[in-house]
Each structure stands twice: as C-alpha cells, then as structure tokens.
Amino acid sequence: MLALPSGPARADLLCEGARIVAIGPDLDAPGARVIDAGGLTVGPGFIDIHVHGGGRHSFFTKDHQRIEAYAAWAPRNGVTSFLVSTVGTDPGDTAAILSALAPTIGSTAGAEALGFHLEGPFLSPEDGYRGAHPLENLARPDTRLFEKLQTASGDRIRLLTVAPELEGCLELIRSVSSRGICVALGHTNADFMTLARAWQAGASMFTHLGNGCALNIPRHDNIIQRVLALPGLMVSLIPDGIHLPPFVVSNLIKGLGPERTLFTTDAMSAAGAPPGEYSLGSLKVAVGGDRVVRLPGTGILAGSSLRMIDGFYNAARFGGIGAGQAWRSWSRLHNLFNPGAEIPLIAVPFPAGPG
C-alpha cells in the first residue's frame, strides 16, 4: 500500500536510490532488487522538528557523538530527518553547544540532522507557560544575541520558538523570519492581537499547542482558542496521549484542520529507553512506568518519551485520520526544511485508511 497525495493505493514502486522513478501495477524492472512490502504501507520518512534526544542520547550536550548516535537510532522509529532541538543554561552555554554540534548538521549517517531548533531562551517567564524551562535560563528577546547564536551555529538555526508578548520580540521575529528562518510561537500567553501581529511579522508556526500552558486558563479567551482562531499558523501537537489526552488530539485536529496540523515528539533521551532517571539539559527528570517524563516531585511534564512511529499511530488512532493524511503533515515539513530533497521511504504496518 502506498501513501500517495491522492490517498492510499496498492501498486509497485520502482526506486533508484531514494528517488522514485515509477509507480504502477506490476512494474517490470529486470535486475532490480525486489522488496516485498505486502501488508505494509510505504510513504516518506518522518521529520521531527522538535526533539531533544532519544534512545538514551540527549541533545543537551557538546558531544557531537550523541547526535550521531541518535541519528543512527532514529530511522528504526520512522524518523529520516530532524532538527536538533536545544538550548543551554545561559547564552554563552547555548553558543558553545551550537558551535560544538554544528559539524553534525548535514553529516550524520542514518537520519539527517537538518539544522537546529532553538526552543528558547526568548520564552515566557510566567509559571505554567514556561513549562519545565528554568526561569534563569530565559532571556529577553535580543536580535544581537540571536545573531551571536546563529553565528555560533554556522548559520544552522532553522527554527526559533519565541513568546511574542515579550518586549522586542516582534522586531526579533521580523529580523529572523526575513532571513528565511522559521519562527514558531510557543511557551506564550500572548493575547490575540499580539499573536496576529507576530504572524504578520513573519511567524508561521505554533509549538506544541496545549502544552507550555498553565493548568488553569480562562474559559474562553485562552491561548488554545486564540491559536485555533488564527488560520495563518501551522501548529504542532505532541500525540503521545499524555501531553494531550486522545480526545484533545482529536478535537485539535478537527479545529485546526489537517492542513494546519503538524506532529512532533518533543522527545528526550528516554524515548525508546526504560523508565528511570534522566537528564534534560540542566534538569534531572524522572520517567515513570507510565512513560511520562516529569520534574521529580511535581506533575510538570518535561518533554516526552514518545517514539515518532508511535506518534504516527496515535495521531491516526486518536485523530481518526488515515495514513495519507497523517503523512501529509510531515510532507509539508519536508517541503519547508528540506525542499527538493529525495526523502527516504519507510514501510510500516498500517491499515488502509480513508486517506
């Protein structure tokens, strides 16, 4: 079964390397190696634009071997490309991390590291909205500071998550987005007009809607409703059933529409690893038998232990969408972060859905 833009279809697929050269019934290709993908659905590999690690490997490191080890582990979870999502304990530390890891971008074997996603330091300091980000790690929006970090990364920051209500943030969004760097809003409690101005200034995404959010929010005018009402923003969800209960994933997909919905893991090193104590940057976190990552002694979620392949199944199961529709969410990201590239194919067990 192929996950095609027009919907799932049963057909043969002829590839040269990662390039598809023919699709059709009963293709004849003498000398070609035949892979029987009967019972499997074939589609483009997943891209994870928000991931802090997995398979015991953390991106809060200056050791490039952690990124390489993650890249080797990730394809077995369906991930063929990713953004290294990280931020340090202070601007100097963040610059050192970016510069130490920069040589891995574009050079990993396995999944391809396409660049960096900087989740911070320009996030809301408000309790709840800053999530697990320590207050002391946050900074005021500062275009010059961003320039320093971008220089340290060798111009490899591809995505920046910011809280637009912070003073100077709209100017930062304008400056960053005008250089072709994608800006996401997140860890924010901005009002509707500020979100709209941020979109006008060049922001195009919202990071993990429903998380990085206070536990108790006003019943109508809250960050979730405001984002749903702003059609210009693509919105990422963490479909682990914990960050968002299954019925919330379903409601958000319906409210956003499939064209605005993106899926990310926000996974940390415990993804695909057993329960225990792990570190997430400067934080110690605990992963319980329920696979939930928390700050010890609190209910605060700190990243997920989700594997993308499980997120794919969950998104389809909770959201009631077919393989083709779930896959289209990642196709949009490939077009954005890796345009024109030949995307490696993956074959996964998946029942034929409505597309």
Contact positions toward Zn ion, by CB under 5 A?
A: 212
* 266 assigned to active site: yes
Q: Report in angstroms how near the CB of residue 98 gets to Zn ion at its nearest.
A: 18
How far apart CA 235 and CA 242 sit, in angstroms, is 18
Minimum CB–partner distance for residue 32 and Zn ion (Å): 45
CB 209 to Zn ion: min, Å: 11
Of 76 and 291, nearer to Zn ion (C-beta) is 291
Q: Contact, 112 vs 81, CB < 8 A?
A: yes
CA nearest to 66, candidates 54, 75, 76: 54
Q: Which residue is nearest to Zn ion (CB)?
A: 212
In whole angstroms, the minimum distance from the beta carbon of 272 to Zn ion comes to 20
Q: Which lies closer to Zn ion via its Cβ, residue 88 or residue 212?
A: 212
Angle at 205 between CA 264 and CA 51, to 5 degrees: 25
> Cβ-count burial of 12 within 10 angstroms (0-12 exposed, 13-18 middle, 19+ buried)?
middle
Write the CB contacts of 154 (distance below 8 Å, at least 6 apart in sequence). 99, 102, 105
Residue 45, CA distances (Å) to 7, 48, 200, 218, 348 in order: 17, 10, 32, 39, 10
Backbone angles phi, psi at 329, to 5 degrees: -60, -40
Catalytic residue (choose from 48, 142, 240, 266): 266
In the complex, minimum distance from the CB of residue 110 to Zn ion, in angstroms, rounded to a whole number: 25
Residues 115, 46: Cα–Cα separation, whole Å: 15
By annotation, the residues acting in catalysis are 266
